Amino acid sequence: MNRAKFVMAIYALAAVLAMCSIGYSVAASSVFGAIAGIVATCVIFMTAFKMKRKLRMQGLL
């Protein structure tokens, strides 16, 4: 597994954990936690797509 695929795997794991935090916050009746989870998910997805574009431009993906 090359470096680029390892980086994308870490982003995927972070996205899954952020989405799980939304569900946990809803179950715990925490509105602030749910909003923070949604924001975290959006930020992770945006940075992952930027990184994917950067890695594609370099020819690593």
d(CA 4, CA 16): 19
pLDDT score for 3? 86
What would the pLDDT profile of 9-42 be if each residue is shown by its tens digit?
999 999 999 999 999 999 999 999 999 999 999 9
Q: Is the pLDDT of residue 60 over 90?
A: no
User: Is 2 or 15 the better-scoring residue by pLDDT?
Assistant: 15
pLDDT score for 59? 84
* pTM of the predicted model as reported, rounded to 2 decimal places: 0.85
Are 58 and 18 in contact by the 8 Å Cβ rule? The answer is no
d(CA 16, CA 10): 10
